Amino acid sequence: MPPVGSKWSYQSHGVGQVSSVSDGGIKLWFPMSRCYITVTDPAQLIPPLDETRAEGVLDVLRSDPGNTFPAAWINRIRGYRQKLQSGCIEEVAEVVRDLAKKKKMTWGEKQMFCDAFALLVQQLREVYPAATEKRIRDAYSSRG
């Protein structure tokens, strides 16, 4: 069981802080969504990023996106949504990278980009407290 006060990630909620631990589960506070969530299975909690994994996330942003989703917009949106809900920060970085390359985004894509970007900032801020947003923008802009 994680100790009270420690930080953990949970699916698409971002980084949360353990506020209490009981037989009923682990209660976490998520400042991004401003809510408490009780997790009954501790195996679902993802440990916070370390510097090695954070650099891997930035490498994903720097990589060439290629054509990973079909041309039909609904299938692209479904794919992006699945990646965001997976809780895997590398997949969230793929969504940011893929949407950042688009010159024109629909309203839904803009919302998804903002959500994914906010999740990335929140996760990476644990490793890089200063200038996190700039570090992310520089990473996906450096592709040329």
**Topology at the third CATH level for domain 51-141:** Methane Monooxygenase Hydroxylase; Chain G, domain 1 (1.20.58)
Q: Which two tokens stand for residue 116?
A: 């994914």
Q: Please, which residues have CB within 8 angstroms of residue 70's CB and are 6 or more apart in sequence?
A: 76
List beta partners, residue 39: 26
List beta partners, residue 17: 7, 29
**Chain segment 23-72, per-residue pLDDT in tens:** 889 999 988 778 998 999 888 888 888 899 999 999 999 998 776 666 77
List beta partners, residue 30: 35
**pTM reported for the whole predicted model:** 0.80
Residue-level pLDDT at 43: 87
The domain limits of the chain are: 7-44, 51-141
**Chain segment 75-128, per-residue pLDDT in tens:** 888 889 999 888 789 999 999 999 988 888 888 889 999 999 988 988 888 888
